Amino acid sequence: MAKGLRASSKVKARNARRYTPGTDYQVIHAARLNSISQRLMSRMNQGDDERTESAEDKDSTKAQDATTAQSDVQTNKVDSMQTDEEKKEAAPEKKISTSGPRNNRREQWRKARGWSAKKTGTQKGVKGKRRR
């Protein structure tokens, strides 16, 4: 049987690859650690003044976004009306049937022997008595 990803033997093997110098695991692990540490250092270096200024900027932009969102909704309503009319004028698209043969390997095997692609019961559309 297969082992899960959290199996201790698998975890030990991955850790061995991760910390052995020169392996692909080690290179990727080092790059990931480096990018995370740089991100954290940039956040720590960011002063409290910058954080408060950015919070004030966010508040002012939220108010502006609310007014522009209302105007966008009004223009979108007009645009959507035009597209609905255009859709009605266009020819209806042909529906895609999903009930036909799937032509998977099992159905091909059955057809090669002259059988029907799908098994059919004695009464079509009715479940067998044992399945109730």
* Highest averaged pLDDT of the listed ranges 19-23, 74-78, 90-94: 19-23
> What is the pTM assigned to this prediction?
0.30
Report the chain's C-alpha Rg in angstroms. 31
The token pair at 130 is: 């044992």
pLDDT range class, residue 7, cuts 50, 70, 90: very high
What single-letter amino acid sits at 68?
T
What CA–CA distance (Å, rounded) separates 70 from 40? Answer: 38
pLDDT > 70: what percent of the chain? 55
Instruction: Round the average pLDDT of the chain to a whole number and report it.
Output: 76
What's the CA angle centered on 88, arms 86 and 91, to 5 degrees? 100
Q: Across the chain, which distance is largest between two alpha carbons, in Å?
A: 79
Please give the pLDDT value at position 74.
58
Residue 116 predicted with pLDDT over 70: yes
- Given a contact cutoff of 8 angstroms between Cβ atoms, the answer to whether 3 and 9 are in contact is yes
